[in-house]
Every structure is written in structure tokens, then in C-alpha cells.
């Protein structure tokens, strides 16, 4: 293991022995000239490779291994979920929301997708010198409102300031802790042939809303971000269907396509989508046509994908539709046995095409 601290003093200098004793494997050395690309942050294949090649070998431990939206850790006599996310959306404010709403909703939603009830949040800010304090105030208002609406206190925080030109207004990390429900443990590897795929609302709103105000890309479109707390939908599903809910996922970076590919790969199943059933709003469809995008890859921040046992399809849809955020819930596909690890889309004319993971970079800094 390369040790960057050869000059360090005794207590902080690692030795090969101490590293091996801690069970950390040897990292893969980088080829000279390799650099971080925007696509490494896209939520697609490059992101997955960065995590698999650089992070996992160094930090391997039982809680990290499942690679869901967070980790499951026993604390006291219960089990909790811990999830963290840093938000770097550009611009900071966009139709239907801002970075403050995303920072609270995004992490609460990751906690919810693990099946847990959020207990508290922390936040860590990087502020750029020169940021108008009124912008910070608006972002904090949004965070306070979203945390208050969800009933989850923000219990601790940290603020750093960097020189002008070393950030983009502000970045914010939130970490959430949630209590796991008994007998309710959705996970990406639990989809089974015969299960149905549900989505809780319209696809592609968040990504298109952000793109519509992105510098150099601005276009007129009446789409607002769908940013919303999905905890109430999950609470409803847990009561209505319990363990018949096999997988939950919020399709953010990389969109519905990437989320379903991860599920298909983790569960070793085939997911067959019904193209005619996909709820793509007309203005999202129109914007995607103009931009040459596929709505299945566009980010969402207020919908969930649920894989549910077939006998619970009706009760799950009823539970989702019982909350305003899930009013547009519908079935969009089914789980089949093969070809395993693949997602396909039935098109209007009876044809079918493969829906791959996002190969690189669709649009950076969407959340």
C-alpha cells in the first residue's frame, strides 16, 4: 500500500502490517495521466467503476458491501440506516426547488428507500466567498421548511468557507439516520420473477427543470422539479404491503433506467418495461426531443420505483395514490427470469429494445 505519510511520526504512520491487520485490501494503482471526469459523477457506468475500483477495495466491511442507498448499522438494541449525500446542483435555484430542498429530500429519500423511518439529519456546508447571504438565507429557509415538513430535526452542522472561484456558490452534504421497520426490508437484490414494477409519479421532471435554467442551455419549458419527501409513501407501503415490497429505489442521477439496471443486476433478473405505460409528461417529452435525451435517463427527485409481489399490486398502488406525492402511481413493467441482469422496453409497435445503464455523462451537477 502506498503510504503518503512516510514523513509522519509514529502514531500516524501506517505499516503494511497494520493495514493488513485492519483487513484493508491493496488498492489498484492509477495509471499516470488518469484524471477525474465529469462522467464519474453521472450515476452511470463510470460512477459505478470509480466506486468499485477505488472505494470498495479500501473500505471493504460488512455494512458497506450491499451498496444500497445507505448502510445498515446496529445501534443500541435496534438497527438503523445511515445515508449520506453531497449536493452540488447548478444552478442553486431552479423551477420548483433549490439546493436546500434537494439536500433534505435527497437524503431523507435514501433513508426511506432502505425501508427506514428518518430520525435526524446533519448538514455540512461549503460556502464560496462572495455568496450573497440572502441566497444562503433562502437555501436555509428551504432546508428548515423541508426538515420541518418531514418532522426530522437537523441536529448538527458544520460550515466551511473557500475562496471565490473554489466552489460554485455553495455545496451541502446531508447525512441521515433512520430506524429500520420490523419485517420491512426492501433491498436491490430481492426482485423475483413475477413481481411488478411500480412508479409513484411522472418521470423526468427534475432533470428537465434544472436543464431549463442551466446557463447556455436555457429553454422555455413549463416543468418544475418533482423534489419531494418520499417517506410518507414508504410508510404507506409498509403498512399496506409489508414484506411484499421487495425493492424500493429513488431514480435520481442516471434516472429510472440506471435504477432498474442496478436492480436487475443485483437480483439477477430481467426487467421488462411497457413503453406505453411510462408516465412521461408532455413538456418533458418535448424537451427530451429537443435535447436528444431519453426520459428514462433523466434525474428525478420526488418519485420512487417499487418492485412488489404480484398479489400486492393493487394494495401498493392504492397506498401510493393515497398521498398527493404518489397520486400518479402506476405499473410500468414486470420482473422476468431472463435474460438476467438486463432491462428491456416494449415499444409501441410490438418491438423491444435494451435499456442499458447510462454509459457516461448525461448531465453533470443535477443534484
Binding positions for a second copy, 326-365, rule CB under 8 A: 364-365
The overall longest dimension of the chain from CA atoms, in Å, is 69
CB-nearer residue toward a second copy: 85 or 195: 85
As a dihedral over the C-alpha atoms of residue 230, residue 189, residue 313, residue 329, rounded to 10 degrees, the angle is 30
Site membership for a second copy, residue 36 (CB under 8 A): yes
Stretch that binds a second copy, among 73-81, 234-242, 309-317, 329-337 (CB under 8 A): 73-81
In SS3 terms, 233-271 reads as HHHHHHHHHHHHEEEEECCCCCHHHHHHHHHHHHHCCEE
5 binds a second copy (CB under 8 A): yes
Asked if residue 322 binds a second copy (CB under 8 A), the reply is no
Scanning 40-48, 257-265, 290-298, 304-312 for contacts with a second copy by CB under 8 A, the matching segment is 40-48
Site for a second copy in 42-61 (CB under 8 A): 42, 47, 50-51, 54-55, 58-59, 61
49, 112, 118, 143: which one binds a second copy (CB under 8 A): 143
Q: Which is nearer to a second copy, 141 or 289 (CB)?
A: 141
* Binding track, positions 233-272, relative to a second copy; x by CB under 8 A: ----------------------------------------
Binding to a second copy (CB under 8 A) within 149-168 occurs at 149, 151, 153-163, 165-168
Are 316 and 240 in contact, with CB atoms under 8 Å apart?
yes
Q: Residue 234, class by beta-carbon neighbours within 10 Å (0-12 exposed, 13-18 middle, 19+ buried)? A: buried
Rounded Cα distance, 273 and 257, in Å? 10
x/- letters, 75..104, toward a second copy (CB under 8 A) = xxxx-x-xxxxxxx-x--x-xxxx--x---
Q: Does 216 bind a second copy (CB under 8 A)?
A: no
Residue 295 burial by Cβ neighbours in a 10 Å radius (0-12, 13-18, 19+): buried
Q: Rounded to 5 degrees, what are φ and ψ at 14?
A: -75, 150
C-alpha to C-alpha distance for 160 and 63, rounded to whole angstroms: 29
Cβ count near 134 (within 10 Å) = 8
CA distance 94 to 211: 9
277 touches a second copy (CB under 8 A) = no
| Sign of torsion over alpha carbons 299, 304, 308, 310 | negative
Given 113, 116, 118, 127, the residue binding a second copy (CB under 8 A): 127
Q: Applying CB under 8 A, which part among 7-15, 269-277, 333-341, 351-359 lies near a second copy?
A: 7-15
Q: Does 182 participate in binding a second copy (rule CB under 8 A)? A: no
At its nearest, how many Å lie between a second copy and the CB of residue 246? 21
Amino acid at each position: 500500500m502506498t503510504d503518503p505519510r512516510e514523513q509522519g511520526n509514529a502514531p500516524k504512520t501506517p505499516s503494511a502490517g497494520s493495514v493488513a491487520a485492519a483487513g484493508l485490501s491493496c488498492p489498484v494503482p492509477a495509471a499516470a495521466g488518469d484524471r477525474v471526469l465529469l462522467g464519474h459523477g453521472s450515476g452511470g457506468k463510470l460512477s459505478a467503476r470509480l466506486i468499485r475500483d477505488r472505494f470498495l477495495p479500501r473500505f471493504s466491511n460488512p455494512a458497506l458491501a450491499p451498496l444500497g442507498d445507505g448502510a445498515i448499522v446496529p445501534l443500541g438494541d435496534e438497527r438503523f440506516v445511515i445515508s449520506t449525500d453531497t449536493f452540488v446542483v447548478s444552478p442553486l435555484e431552479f423551477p420548483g426547488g433549490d439546493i436546500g430542498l434537494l439536500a433534505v429530500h435527497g437524503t431523507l429519500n435514501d433513508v426511506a428507500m432502505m425501508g427506514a423511518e428518518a430520525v435526524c439529519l446533519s448538514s455540512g456546508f461549503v460556502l464560496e466567498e462572495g455568496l450573497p447571504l440572502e441566497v444562503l438565507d433562502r437555501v436555509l429557509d428551504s432546508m428548515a421548511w423541508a426538515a420541518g415538513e418531514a418532522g426530522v430535526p437537523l441536529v448538527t452542522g458544520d460550515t466551511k468557507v473557500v475562496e471565490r472561484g473554489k466552489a460554485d456558490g455553495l455545496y451541502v452534504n446531508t447525512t441521515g439516520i433512520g430506524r429500520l421497520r420490523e419485517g420491512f426490508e426492501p433491498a436491490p437484490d430481492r426482485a423475483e420473477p413475477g413481481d411488478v414494477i411500480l412508479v409513484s409519479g411522472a418521470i423526468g421532471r427534475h432533470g428537465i427543470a434544472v436543464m431549463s435554467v442551466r446557463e447556455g442551455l436555457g429553454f422555455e419549458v413549463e416543468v418544475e422539479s418533482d423534489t419531494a419527501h418520499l417517506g410518507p409513501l414508504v410508510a404507506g407501503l409498509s403498512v399496506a404491503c409489508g414484506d411484499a415490497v421487495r425493492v424500493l429505489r429513488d431514480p435520481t442521477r442516471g434516472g429510472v433506467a440506471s435504477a432498474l439496471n442496478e436492480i436487475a443486476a443485483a437480483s439477477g433478473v430481467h426487467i421488462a418495461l411497457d413503453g406505453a405505460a411510462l408516465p412521461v409528461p408532455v413538456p418533458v417529452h418535448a424537451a427530451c426531443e429537443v435535447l436528444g435525451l431519453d426520459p428514462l435517463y433523466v434525474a428525478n427527485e420526488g418519485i420512487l420505483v417499487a418492485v412488489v409481489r404480484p398479489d400486492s399490486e393493487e394494495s401498493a398502488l392504492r397506498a401510493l395514490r393515497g398521498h398527493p406525492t404518489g397520486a400518479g402511481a402506476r405499473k410500468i413493467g414486470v420482473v422476468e427470469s431472463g435474460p438476467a441482469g438486463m432491462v428491456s422496453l416494449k415499444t409501441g409497435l410490438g418491438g423491444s429494445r435494451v435499456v442499458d445503464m447510462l454509459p457516461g455523462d448525461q448531465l453533470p451537477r443535477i443534484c
